[in-house]
Amino acid sequence: MCGIIAITTSSKTNVSKMITDSLKKLEYRGYDSVGVATINNGKIEILKDIGMIDKVNKRLSLENLRGTIGIGHTRWATHGAINQENAHPHSDCKGNIIVVHNGIIENYLDLKKTLKEKGHFFSSETDSEVIAHLMEEELKQDNPNSSKINAFKRVINKIEGTYAITLIHSKDPETIFLARKDSPLVIGVREDTKFAASDIPAFLEYTKQVIVLKNGEIATLTPQAVYIEKNGFRVQPKPVIISWTAESAQKSGYPHFMLKEIHEQPIALKNTLNIDPRVIEKASNKILEAERIIFLACGTSYHAGLSGYHQFQRILKKRPLYKVIASEYETYSHLIDEDTLIIAVSQSGETLDVMKGLGAARKTRASIISVANVIDSSIPRLSQIALYTKAGPEIGVAATKTHTAQVALLARLALQIEHDVGLLNTTEFNENLGTLVTEAPQITRTIINQNEFKAKELAAKISNQNHAYFLARGYNLPIALEGALKLKEISYIHAEAFPAGESKHGPIAIVEPDFPVVIISPNDWTAKKMLSSTEEMRARGAYIISVTEEGHNIIERSDYPFILPTSLSLLRPITHILPLQMLAYYAAVKRGFDPDKPKNLAKTVTVE
C-alpha cells in the first residue's frame, strides 16, 4: 500500500517528469493523495495534494518541478485523514529533510511526544512525519560535514513497525537514503541514474536491472553508485535482469489494465505452465514428506489456494489439509510445527498478513513453499521452495491473470503429486500434463472471445442491482467466492458467495424478483443438486445467471447462461471464472467506476 519512487541522476534532466510518470505506474498501490519533492539549487521544492495523479498534476504541475534528485509518493491512507497536510512527502521543521514512507510506524506517538517536547513542530497527523523530525534531531549531534548515513541509521534503529523509506536532504543533493522492513523497496540501476521504488513497473521504462532491497537493509543511492549495508556490514548488491517489458506495464490500447490483463490470461497460463519440472518435483517431494499441509493466503490468492486445497484433498485423501486466511493464522498456530508444510499463495509476494503467518511458522521450523508472481519478493524469500507464476506485471487492483496463473500452477503441482503417489502411471501423467499445458491457454482464449460480448450485455442488465448471490458446491465453491469478490470490489454491487445448500438456512430470505443469482454448475457430481438450488431461487423470482457447460439441464432453467465447453476438471477453476471476471469488469464500467482503481483498496496490502 502506498507507492514510493525516488530518482537521482547525473544527466541534466529534471527528474520530476520521470517521477510523475512512475507514480502513475504505482497508482494501483493507493490513490488518496499524491506528492513530489525535488532538490533544486540546494533548496527543497515540494508539491502535494489529494486526488489522483493526473488531476493533481494538472492542478499543480508536479512534472515541472526542477532538480536532478527527487522523491514521490501516492498514498493509501492509514494514519490521518485524506487531506493535503497528510499527503506525502513530509518534511522536518526547517524543510531541509524530505521523506516518503510506506508502512506503519507503530511507536510514532511516543516518538512524536518526545520530539514535540524538544520543540519540533508537526504539520500532519501521519506516523511518517516523525521520520523527518527524527533525522533532524539526530543530525544535531553530528558535525554538519559528516556523512548523514550514520544519523539515518540511528533513526532507523529508533522506529518500530513496517517501512519502506526514502529520504533526501537539501545539503546532500545527490543522495537518496533508503531503508526497508516488511514493505517492498526495489532499486533500479542505470549507468547515470539510480531509482528506488515500491515495485518494478515504476522504472521499467528506464532500466531492467533491479536490486531487491531485503528486510533490515539500509542503502544510499547516488547517480553513480548503490551502497547497501545490513547490521553494520556492507552487502554486495546482486542486480537481476527482469524479463518484463515496459509495454507489459502499459495499457497497450485497452481502456483499462484489468481488461488487458483478462485478455493476457492465455499467455500468462502458457508461461506459467512452462515451469521447470525439477522445481515441481522438488515441491511434490516436500509436500509428500509433510505430516500436515496448510494453504495460507488472502483474498483472491486465498481462492486460488482453496482450489489447490480441493485438488490436493482428492489425491492425498486422509492427509490433514487446512485452508487458512492469513490474517487468522493465530487461530491455527497450534497446528504449526516442524512437520507442517505451509503453501503460501501471494501475487505480490509482499502481503503483510501472509508474511506475519510465515514469520510465526518459521519460528517452529515449519517448511514453506510459496506461489508468487513477483520475483525475489519477500514471501518467496521466506520459503524453502519458491514457485513463480509467470503472469507478468499485474497493474489492475483486482487480480485476474495472476489468479488463474496461481490456480494453474497448483493444478500442475497436483498432477505431479498424483503421479508421485502412484495414482497416475507415467503414460497417464504425460498425457494429462500435455493436455493441461496445451489446453489451458487455448480454451481460455476461446472462452474469453466467445463470452466477452455476453458479459457486457449481462452487465448492462444487472448494473442497477444492489445485491447478487453466487452459489456453488464442493470444489466449485472457490469459483463462486472469486466471482463474488470480483463483482463487489470493482462494481460495488454487494455480492455474496456461499455453498448452494446454505441458501435455505438464511440468505434466501432477501431474494425477490430480479435478484441476480449466479449458479456455478459444470457437468459434474454437483449438477443435480445445483439444479434444485436453481429451482428454489427461481421460485422466488431470482434472475438466474449460470456458468455451466454444454448439455447441462440448467441451461433452459437460466435467464442468462454462459455455456462453456466441458473441460478437464483441473481446468474448471480457470475456465469458469473467466465470464465472471468480465461481468465484474463491464458492470464496473457501466456503473461509471474505474475498475483499475477501486475505492479504499490497494494492490499490495502491506498493513495488518
Residue environment code for 86-125, b if the CB has 16+ CB neighbours within 10 A, otherwise e: bbbbbbbbeebbbbbbbbbbeebeebbeebeeeebebebe
Count of residues that bind ligand F6R according to CB under 6 A: 15
Residues 352-381 within binding reach of ligand F6R (CB under 6 A): 354
8 A C-beta contact, residue 544 and residue 517: yes
* Least distance from ligand F6R to the Cβ atom of residue 246, Å: 22
Stretch that binds ligand F6R, among 75-83, 266-274, 341-349, 560-568 (CB under 6 A): 341-349
Contact with ligand F6R (CB under 6 A) among 3, 35, 223, 299:
299
Nearer to ligand F6R, 341 or 485 (CB): 485
Nearer to ligand F6R, 14 or 300 (CB): 300
Stretch that binds ligand F6R, among 237-245, 266-274, 294-302, 494-502 (CB under 6 A): 294-302
* R_g of the chain computed on alpha carbons: 25
Residues 213-272 within binding reach of ligand F6R (CB under 6 A): none
**Helical residues (DSSP H) of 463-571, grouped into ranges:** 477-491, 527-539
Nearer to ligand F6R, 175 or 351 (CB): 351
* Least distance from ligand F6R to the Cβ atom of residue 43, Å: 39
228, containing H or E segment: strand 226-230
324 touches ligand F6R (CB under 6 A):
no
Transcribe 177-189 into DSSP letters.
EEEEEBS--EEEE
* Least distance from ligand F6R to the Cβ atom of residue 117, Å: 39
Stretch that binds ligand F6R, among 144-152, 344-352, 358-366, 585-593 (CB under 6 A): 344-352
C-alpha separations of 523 from 311, 472, 510 in Å: 17, 12, 29
Is the Cα torsion angle 110, 113, 118, 120 positive or negative in sign?
Answer: positive
Residues 463-502 within binding reach of ligand F6R (CB under 6 A): 485, 489
Length of the chain: 608
Contact with ligand F6R (CB under 6 A) among 294, 398, 413, 564:
398
Q: CB within 8 A of 11, min separation 6: which ones?
A: 68, 192, 193, 223
* Least distance from ligand F6R to the Cβ atom of residue 347, Å: 3
Please tell me the distance from the alpha carbon of residue 468 to that of residue 262, in angstroms, as a whole number: 22
343 touches ligand F6R (CB under 6 A):
no
Please tell me the distance from the alpha carbon of residue 554 to that of residue 346, in angstroms, as a whole number: 35
Residue environment code for 360-389, b if the CB has 16+ CB neighbours within 10 A, otherwise e: bbeeeebbbbbbbbbbbbbbbbbbebbbbb
Binding mask 111-140 for ligand F6R (x = CB under 6 A): ------------------------------
Nearer to ligand F6R, 492 or 560 (CB): 492
Nearer to ligand F6R, 220 or 383 (CB): 383
Contact with ligand F6R (CB under 6 A) among 258, 280, 399, 484:
399
Nearer to ligand F6R, 2 or 298 (CB): 298
Nearer to ligand F6R, 485 or 537 (CB): 485
Angle at 449 between CA 603 and CA 588, to 5 degrees: 40
300 touches ligand F6R (CB under 6 A):
yes
162 touches ligand F6R (CB under 6 A):
no
Q: Give the nearest residue (CB) to ligand F6R.
A: 299
C-alpha separations of 52 from 57, 112, 204, 379 in Å: 8, 29, 21, 30
Stretch that binds ligand F6R, among 13-21, 192-200, 222-230, 293-301 (CB under 6 A): 293-301
595 touches ligand F6R (CB under 6 A):
no
Please tell me the distance from the alpha carbon of residue 330 to that of residue 321, in angstroms, as a whole number: 17
346 touches ligand F6R (CB under 6 A):
yes
Contact with ligand F6R (CB under 6 A) among 348, 378, 491, 558:
348
Query: Which grid coordinates belong to 176?
Result: 537518496
Contact with ligand F6R (CB under 6 A) among 33, 38, 301, 383:
301
Please tell me the distance from the alpha carbon of residue 89 to that of residue 102, in angstroms, as a whole number: 11
Nearer to ligand F6R, 471 or 605 (CB): 605
**Helical residues (DSSP H) of 213-298, grouped into ranges:** 257-263, 265-273, 277-289
Contact with ligand F6R (CB under 6 A) among 347, 451, 491, 503:
347
Nearer to ligand F6R, 206 or 329 (CB): 329
Nearer to ligand F6R, 418 or 489 (CB): 489
Nearer to ligand F6R, 393 or 561 (CB): 393
* Least distance from ligand F6R to the Cβ atom of residue 461, Å: 23
Cis peptide, bond prior to residue 277, ω within 30 of zero:
no
| Nearest in space to 155 (alpha carbons), one of 165, 145, 146 | 165
30 touches ligand F6R (CB under 6 A):
no
In the chain, count H helices and then E strands: 17, 25
* Least distance from ligand F6R to the Cβ atom of residue 348, Å: 3
Q: Three-class SS string for 81-111?
A: CCCCCCCCCEECCCCCEEEEEEEEECCHHHH
Please tell me the distance from the alpha carbon of residue 139 to that of residue 435, in angstroms, as a whole number: 64
Stretch that binds ligand F6R, among 129-137, 230-238, 343-351, 360-368 (CB under 6 A): 343-351
In 3-state terms, what secondary structure has residue 527?
helix
Stretch that binds ligand F6R, among 128-136, 308-316, 347-355, 521-529 (CB under 6 A): 347-355
351 touches ligand F6R (CB under 6 A):
yes
570 touches ligand F6R (CB under 6 A):
no
298 touches ligand F6R (CB under 6 A):
yes
In terms of Cβ atoms closer than 10 Å to its own Cβ (0-12, 13-18, 19+), residue 427 is exposed
Does the active-site annotation cover 603? yes
Query: Which grid coordinates belong to 6?
Result: 525516488
In 3-state terms, what secondary structure has residue 162?
strand
- Of 112, 194, 323, 603, the active-site residue reads 603
- Where on the chain is the footprint of ligand F6R (CB under 6 A)? 298-301, 346-348, 351, 354, 398-399, 485, 489, 604-605
Just list the catalytic residues: 2, 603
